[in-house]
């Protein structure tokens, strides 16, 4: 037996299990970035909790921990949003907000005693009421213009419904009003491009008569947005889409109709996967050449700023439904090992893992090839991937998607996990936080996906604030179809004036400096208003490091070089390492706040790592010469952190 390839080891990631978030395609054959059929959305939960039946079962230890943590983190997010807005002199906390926060903190002080009283139903009901009061008083105009990636998926259904550039402009106006700076436009769906291609079998018949890609590039750039072509990679047919284009359910899609030998087959020879789609065989060289030709056509014919890979995986495999047995893949695996994979069973774990690892490598190799070849043609092309936020081992076994490796090798710039949990706690704990841990040291930015269908304004604000309290690079909203006008009421504060739209993946050093300036303003306000619990000695040491890091980031922004980048990263590491020591007293009272500061420093670190990999090789934008906020002499940005000390501490 000839083992001529490396067996991939799974990356241990604590993320969503396949049972808790099995992401399924939605109606109208939209792309893979959709809501799980297993997740029940209750968008108005925050406003109707008092009507939800409350269990009278005894509260167990895990529930106590979960209830306490949920409330503590909600308080923390609200306080952080108020602090950030107040620091930028754009907001004043209301008396009702102060009272709601005070009531919640008082409830937490009495929580254990209430649980011990034995009236579990009353405790749960009061917990709901306290939480509901907090959400009712959630500040709605506190989102500041922080340098972050604010992306949105523009789905094929929205494009088809627009029908013309004039009507598509209305969608782009709405996205501009919501502060969007990056658009993922669904350019290839179920094997059909939305533009007239010289390579693909045919343009999507639902958009014939105009070129939505050309229109979208124009509309985006007129509004200082980036336009990234979002493509289905190995998924090339969809039974739901067949209905829309008057094709029979058995139609495999235009690509496989022309090239049936390219199909990714089930063990019994079926073409359609259990999810109702057809897939290409990633191990087939002809498939890879076809796809690469399409992507090169897109980036050379159109002034797109990036390419997003969706369906960058094998079809989902279920118990008794094994897939991946394309003609080319079987032949290559047998040539490498002497074994026809059709004969391998999950009952033979070692050979089954060998076959699984082979499939993982096919996806990995293609991602690397796409990134390398497209950037050779157009170096500033941003490569992103829409990926599943499952546990690593589940993902490798069921869809062969190894996205942590793509990020760590610098092959993908933006990792966009489809984190579509309905409530903020599940969104964070089951999706976002494990995904961040998976690429914590990678030179890539993570943009968690936020499902906005039926989402209320408060729920959206809470999720976005939660992401700002973590080391994320931004977010991506799913999808433009659900971007209702009311969202602009809460997102309008994200709009930028000309020249101020800092996108971290384009100006990483300027973005890092601007993010740090915002953090420094918040610290300054807390010290000046005597609201920071810190000893005088720790304050002096902290103040020194604050200024060291500030100067290092200013120098890096104004005169970028590897040496200055190393100095900035060293200063940032010193700040991050010692922050817990300096804030040990503050941490006793406001743990969430201190954790958030650490996360925001980590976010700056992620941006610097991204800049380390990309800025010097791709060239730096002229906008980097703009004088940064923290270097201006206005009172807001020139206040020394720590000039005021509470002598009682």
* pLDDT tens digits, one per residue of 475-532: 999 999 999 988 888 887 766 544 468 999 999 999 999 999 999 999 999 999 999 9
525 φψ region: left (φ > 0), alpha (ψ -120 to 50), beta (else): alpha
CB contact at 8 A, 133 and 142: no
How many separate domains does the chain show? 3
What pLDDT, on the 0 to 100 scale, is given for residue 319? 86
Residues 352 and 467 in one domain: yes
348 and 400 share a domain? Answer: yes
How many CA atoms lie less than 13 Å away from 134 in the CB half-sphere?
Answer: 28
Q: Is the separation of the CB atoms in 414 and 475 below 8 Å? A: no
**Is 302 part of a structural domain of the chain?**
yes
Tell which of 104, 136, 168 closes a domain.
136
221, 240 Cβ separation under 8 angstroms:
no
Q: How confident is the model at residue 406 (pLDDT cuts 50, 70, 90)?
A: very high
Let me know if residue 1 belongs to a domain. Answer: no
Q: How far apart are the first and last CA of the chain?
A: 71
| One domain for residues 197 and 343 | yes
User: Which residues are CB-neighbours of 457 under 8 A, at least 6 positions away?
Assistant: 140, 486, 487, 489, 490
Shared domain for 81 and 174, answered yes or no, is no
Quick one: 553 and 469 in the same domain?
no
C-alpha separations of 310 from 12, 178, 207 in Å: 23, 24, 21
540 and 453 in a common domain = no
CATH number at residue 410: 3.20.20.80
> CB of 389 within 8 A of CB of 434?
yes
Asked if the structure places residue 647 within a domain, the reply is no
Question: What does the pLDDT average to over 243-255?
Answer: 98
Tell me whether strands 382-387 and 306-310 are parallel, antiparallel or unpaired. Answer: parallel
Own/partner pairs, 496-503, CB within 8 angstroms, 24+ separation: 496/145, 496/179, 496/181, 496/224, 498/224, 499/623, 499/626, 500/145, 501/181, 501/224, 502/147, 503/147, 503/149, 503/181, 503/182, 503/226
pLDDT, tens digit (0-9, with 9 covering 90-100), for 313-330? 999 998 889 999 999 999
Provide the percentage of residues in the chain whose pLDDT is more than 90.
78
Per DSSP, 53 falls in state: -
Identify the DSSP state of 23: B
Residue 492, CA distances (Å) to 312, 541, 567, 573 in order: 34, 39, 36, 34
Do 490 and 514 lie in one domain? The reply is no
Residues 440 and 547 in one domain: no
- Residue scoring higher pLDDT (251 or 140): 251
The answer to the question of residue 455 being in a domain is: yes
Domain end (from 136, 157, 187): 136
Question: Residue 574: is its pLDDT beyond 80?
Answer: yes
Is residue 328 in some structural domain? yes
Contact 631, 529 (CB under 8 A): no
In a domain, 5, yes or no: no
Backbone angles phi, psi at 92, to 5 degrees: -135, 125
Contact present, 367 and 412 (Cβ < 8 Å): yes
Are residues 361 and 8 in contact, defined by beta-carbon separation less than 8 angstroms? yes
Segment among 296-305, 460-469, 620-629 with least mean pLDDT: 620-629
- Same domain, yes or no: 238 and 323: yes
Same domain, yes or no, for 313 and 443?
yes
Q: Which domain holds residue 68?
A: 42-136
More confident residue, 45 or 513: 513
Rounded to two decimals, the pTM is 0.88
Domain end, chosen from 102, 136, 170, is at 136
Residues 170 and 274 occupy one common structural domain: yes
* 79-109 pLDDT, tens digit each: 998 888 787 666 788 899 999 999 999 999 9
d(CA 78, CA 70): 12
DSSP-derived secondary structure letter, 272? B
Which residue in 466, 455, 477 sits closest to 424, CA to CA? 466
Domain assignment present for residue 384? The answer is: yes
**Which range (140-144, 145-149, 189-193, 212-216) has the least confidence?**
140-144
Q: Percentage of the chain surpassing pLDDT 70?
A: 85
Average pLDDT value for the chain: 88
Residue 350 lies in a domain: yes
Q: So what's the pLDDT on residue 3? A: 35
Same domain, 432 and 558: no
* Cα distance between residue 591 and residue 585, in whole Å: 10
Contact 538, 581 (CB under 8 A): yes
Strands 474-478 and 449-451: parallel
């Amino acid at each position: 037996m000839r083992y001529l390839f490396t067996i991939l080891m799974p990356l241990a990631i604590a993320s969503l299990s396949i049972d808790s978030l099995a992401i399924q395609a939605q109606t109208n054959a939209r792309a893979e970035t959709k809501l799980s059929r297993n997740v029940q959305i209750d968008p108005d939960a925050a406003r109707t909790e008092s009507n939800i039946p409350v269990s009278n079962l005894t509260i167990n230890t895990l529930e106590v921990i979960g209830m306490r943590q949920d409330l503590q983190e909600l308080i923390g997010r609200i306080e952080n949003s108020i602090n950030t807005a107040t620091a930028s002199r754009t907001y004043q906390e209301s008396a009702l907000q102060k009272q709601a926060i005070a009531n919640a903190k008082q409830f937490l002080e009495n929580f254990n005693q209430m649980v011990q009283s034995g009236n579990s139903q009353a405790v749960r009901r009061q917990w709901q009421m306290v939480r509901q009061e907090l959400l009712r008083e959630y500040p709605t105009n506190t989102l500041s213009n922080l340098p972050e990636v604010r992306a949105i998926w523009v789905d094929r259904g929205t494009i088809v419904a627009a029908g013309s550039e004039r009507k598509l402009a209305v969608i782009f106006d709405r996205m501009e009003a919501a502060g969007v700076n990056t658009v993922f436009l669904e350019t290839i769906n179920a094997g059909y491009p939305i533009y007239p291609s010289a390579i693909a079998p045919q343009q999507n018949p639902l958009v014939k008569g105009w070129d939505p890609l050309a229109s979208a590039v124009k509309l985006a750039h007129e509004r200082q947005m980036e336009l990234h072509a979002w493509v289905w990679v190995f998924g090339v047919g969809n039974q739901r889409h067949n209905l829309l284009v008057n094709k029979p359910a058995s139609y495999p899609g235009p690509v496989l109709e022309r090239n049936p030998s390219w199909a990714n087959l089930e063990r019994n020879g079926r073409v359609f996967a259990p999810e109702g789609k057809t897939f290409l065989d990633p191990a087939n060289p002809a498939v890879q050449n076809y796809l690469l030709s399409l992507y090169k056509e897109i980036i050379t014919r159109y002034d797109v700023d990036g390419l997003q890979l969706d369906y960058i995986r094998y079809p989902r495999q279920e118990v008794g439904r094994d897939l991946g047995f394309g003609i080319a893949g079987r032949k290559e695996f047998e040539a490498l090992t002497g074994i026809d994979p059709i004969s391998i069973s999950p009952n033979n774990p070692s050979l089954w893992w060998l076959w699984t690892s082979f499939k993982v490598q096919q996806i990995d190799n293609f991602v690397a090839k796409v990134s390398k070849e497209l950037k050779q043609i157009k170096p500033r092309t941003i490569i992103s991937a829409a990926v599943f936020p499952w546990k690593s081992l589940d993902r490798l076994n069921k869809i062969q998607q190894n996205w942590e490796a793509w990020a760590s090798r610098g092959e993908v710039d933006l990792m966009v996990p489809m984190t579509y949990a309905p409530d903020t706690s599940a969104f964070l704990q089951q999706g976002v936080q494990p995904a961040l841990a998976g690429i914590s040291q990678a030179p890539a930015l993570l943009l968690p996906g936020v499902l906005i269908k039926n989402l209320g304004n408060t729920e959206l604000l809470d999720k976005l604030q939660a992401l700002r309290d973590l080391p994320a690079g931004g977010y991506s909203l799913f999808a433009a179809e659900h971007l209702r006008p009311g969202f602009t009421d809460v997102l309008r504060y994200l709009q930028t004036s000309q020249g101020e739209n800092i996108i971290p993946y384009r100006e990483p050093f300027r973005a890092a400096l601007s993010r740090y300036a915002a953090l420094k303003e918040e610290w300054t306000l807390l010290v000046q208003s005597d609201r920071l619990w810190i000893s005088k000695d720790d304050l002096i040491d902290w103040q020194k490091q604050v200024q060291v890091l500030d100067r290092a980031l200013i120098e890096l922004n104004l005169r970028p070089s590897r040496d200055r980048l190393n100095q900035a990263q060293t200063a940032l590491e010193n700040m991050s390492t010692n922050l817990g020591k300096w804030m040990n007293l503050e941490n006793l009272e406001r743990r969430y706040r201190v954790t958030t500061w650490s996360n925001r420093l980590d976010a700056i670190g992620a941006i610097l790592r991204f800049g380390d990999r990309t800025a010097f090789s791709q060239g730096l934008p002229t906008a980097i010469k703009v004088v940064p906020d923290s270097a201006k002499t206005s009172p807001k940005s020139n206040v020394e952190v720590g000039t005021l000390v509470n002598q009682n501490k």
